[in-house]
A and B are shown apart, each in its own frame.
Chain A
Amino acid sequence: MADNAFAAKAAELIGAPSVPAMFAMLARTGRAIALPVLAGAVLVALWEFFCSYYAIRPVLLPAPSRVLATASRAWEILVENSIPTTVETVAGFLLSVVFGSLLAVAMVYSRWLREVLYPNIVLFQLIPKIAVAPLFIMWLGIEWQSRVTIAVFIAFFPIVISTWTGLMSADPSLLRLCRSLGASEWQMFARIRVPSSLPFAFNGMKISMTLSIIGVIVGEFITSQQGLGYVILFAGSKLETALVMSAILILCFIGLILYGIVGLIEWLVMRRYGA
């Protein structure tokens, strides 16, 4: 009995959930997944119902069942074109992370660089980037180089801003502690600034991943060579609405997975570097 009370107290102290609390947690998680899935299912069911009830022409709005049928018929084309889209999206994202983080670090350590660059980066951000995409085609050709560049162009901004904010958010008293121990700039950076920046940096990365997809699709619209963006453009011109929607469906799926991977990495890293 006393042991039980002790165990409960210990569990409370280390923040381990009790059994009823675990059920409540499970119920909460289940709810968080079930509710949006249910809402989505209702919407799709309504869509299906209206298409068949009002006999809407498939060119205008194909029913979900028809989209699925088309997707399975055109499966090969869709997969074939998903690969470059995915690879280029990931490449654009990774390059954005590298360039964005380096720029953020440079802006933390060089006041001069910050004063020179920051207003320009913001100004840069005001350019409607899709409008300048054709320039990249002229400069870089119609292959992956221009598509990845457009993706980086769109996706690196949130990385710079969030990583910079994160690096600057380091607790000054922790930096003072480091100085009192004679820490080098590198030690302060690696041991204090980087861990402090992680929650911010991951927020930026999640936004950046979604933007990278947009960048690649825009690139595919313009270069018209390959990829899901090209499939959408091509099928649209032939009024193959169901194929357009299948491609969009696959695109959503890819986006979800890529976003999920970033979220998973965040979860793993924050388990170590969370409070």
Chain B
Amino acid sequence: MPLPLPAPRGQAGYLSVRGARKVYNPGRDAIAVLRDVSFDVTSGEFVSILGASGCGKSTLLMMAAGLESITSGEIAIGGEPVRKPRPDVGIIFQDATLLPWETALRNVLFPIEIMRRSVAEYLPKAEELLALVGLGGFMHMKPSQLSGGMRQRVGICRALIHNPSLLLLDEPFSALDAITRDELNVALLEIWERYHQTALFVTHSIREAVYLSDRVIVLGGRPAGVAADIRIPFARPRPFSVGDTLEFNQICAVLREHIASGHKAAAAQVA
């Protein structure tokens, strides 16, 4: 029975991004997306990458996942440069990307099958995870029988099944309605506070980033660089009502300012 391994916490620079650049179509039609992005994430930390859509934040995440090549610079996990997808990383994609012909339970166990580990060994954990996100009674249903929010809950479970130490989240809730989105933020935080992986969360929702994170990094400009890196001071476990406090809203305002100035800088560059 695999116990959820507590990630080694407090290891500074567990995830390190050093001078990451990304240029699509190098040559005459080159499109520079990221310029010299650098930051570190301590293990056990929840960091959000915030930016307008199309700013390259998903590209950054996919580079960390080893699914997208890096033009120059380096991204390292646990001191090891990322060259290809790693088994100690779990990814939650924008749409749940479930196999439509498999049940919720089989979808959660899919990484185990692909990694050729013992399904029987991970079955209790899959059931536990699904129960934890409130899908205990829906394990044997196919995705078409589940709502969008339920599907993404299955996606969360699937990303956690193989005990990854790093969780990469690519705007996982952007396709959901506002109410479902709030619910899933709470569910994600609950489950994260239990397993406490290092998490890199890409979003364009300021409130979502502030509610979930220990730190919020703002990407801005074109090509984008780190425009701000702000620590979020709220204690955990965090009630959802933290979003109603003055401090929360002040932080949101500061972040909004940073995003806007990034736009202005980009506009100035063009002009």
Interface 9-residue window, one of A141-149, A160-168, A170-178 = A170-178
Which chain A residues border B97 with CB–CB below 8 Å? Answer: 171, 173-174, 176-177
Which chain B residues border A178 with CB–CB below 8 Å? Answer: 114
Nearest Cβ in chain A — how far from B143, in angstroms?
7
Which chain B residues border A192 with CB–CB below 8 Å? Answer: 99
Task: Let me know if B268 is at the binding interface, CB within 8 A.
Answer: no
Which chain B residues border A273 with CB–CB below 8 Å? Answer: 101
Interface pair B143/A180, CB less than 8 Å apart: no
Which chain A residues border B101 with CB–CB below 8 Å? Answer: 195, 272-275
Task: Let me know if B6 is at the binding interface, CB within 8 A.
Answer: no
Task: Let me know if B65 is at the binding interface, CB within 8 A.
Answer: yes
Interface 9-residue window, one of B38-46, B87-95, B232-240 = B87-95
A191-B114, A273-B101 are known contacts. Are A180 and B142 too (CB-CB below 8 A)? no
**Given the complex of chains A and B, what is the CA–CA distance between A183 and B66 in angstroms?**
13
Which chain A residues border B110 with CB–CB below 8 Å? Answer: 181, 191
Of all chain B residues, the one with the shortest Cβ separation from A176 is B67
Task: Let me know if B111 is at the binding interface, CB within 8 A.
Answer: yes
Task: Let me know if B145 is at the binding interface, CB within 8 A.
Answer: yes
Task: Let me know if B52 is at the binding interface, CB within 8 A.
Answer: no
**Given the complex of chains A and B, what is the CA–CA distance between A120 and B100 in angstroms?**
35
**Given the complex of chains A and B, what is the CA–CA distance between A181 and B66 in angstroms?**
10
A178-B114, A181-B114, A191-B114 are known contacts. Are A14 and B145 too (CB-CB below 8 A)? yes
Task: Let me know if A182 is at the binding interface, CB within 8 A.
Answer: yes
Task: Let me know if B11 is at the binding interface, CB within 8 A.
Answer: no
Nearest Cβ in chain A — how far from B171, in angstroms?
13
Task: Let me know if B84 is at the binding interface, CB within 8 A.
Answer: yes
B110-152 vs A, CB cutoff 8 Å, 1 = contact: the mask equals 1101110000000000000000000000000111110000000
Task: Let me know if A110 is at the binding interface, CB within 8 A.
Answer: no
**Given the complex of chains A and B, what is the CA–CA distance between A177 and B144 in angstroms?**
19
Interface pair A275/B85, CB less than 8 Å apart: no
Of all chain A residues, the one with the shortest Cβ separation from B91 is A180
**Given the complex of chains A and B, what is the CA–CA distance between A272 and B84 in angstroms?**
33
Number of A-B contacts (CB under 8 A): 54
Interface pair A181/B111, CB less than 8 Å apart: yes
Task: Let me know if A225 is at the binding interface, CB within 8 A.
Answer: no
Nearest Cβ in chain A — how far from B142, in angstroms?
6
Of all chain A residues, the one with the shortest Cβ separation from B101 is A273
**Given the complex of chains A and B, what is the CA–CA distance between A275 and B146 in angstroms?**
11
Task: Let me know if A15 is at the binding interface, CB within 8 A.
Answer: yes
Task: Let me know if A18 is at the binding interface, CB within 8 A.
Answer: no
A15-B145, A275-B144 are known contacts. Are A181 and B115 too (CB-CB below 8 A)? yes
Task: Let me know if A65 is at the binding interface, CB within 8 A.
Answer: no
Interface pair B99/A181, CB less than 8 Å apart: no
Question: Which interface residue of A13, A182, A272 has the most chain B CB atoms within 10 A?
Answer: A182
Task: Let me know if A238 is at the binding interface, CB within 8 A.
Answer: no
Question: Which interface residue of A171, A181, A192 has the most chain B CB atoms within 10 A?
Answer: A181
Which chain A residues border B67 with CB–CB below 8 Å? Answer: 176, 179-180
Which chain B residues border A173 with CB–CB below 8 Å? Answer: 93, 95, 97
Interface pair A182/B115, CB less than 8 Å apart: yes
**Given the complex of chains A and B, what is the CA–CA distance between A187 and B111 in angstroms?**
11
**Given the complex of chains A and B, what is the CA–CA distance between A245 and B145 in angstroms?**
49
Which chain A residues border B143 with CB–CB below 8 Å? Answer: 275
Interface pair B84/A182, CB less than 8 Å apart: yes
User: Which of A13, A181, A275 is the one whose CB lies under 8 Å from B100?
Assistant: A275
Q: Which residues of A contact B (CB under 8 A)?
A: 13-15, 171, 173-174, 176-183, 187, 191-192, 195, 272-275
Give me 5 A-to-B residue pairs in the complex whose CB atoms sit less than 8 angstroms apart, sorted by A's number: A13-B145, A14-B145, A173-B97, A177-B97, A181-B87
**What 16 new A-B contacts, CB under 8 Å, besides A173-B97, A273-B101, A275-B101?**
A14-B145, A171-B97, A173-B95, A174-B99, A177-B93, A179-B85, A180-B85, A180-B91, A181-B85, A182-B84, A182-B85, A182-B87, A182-B114, A191-B110, A191-B114, A274-B101
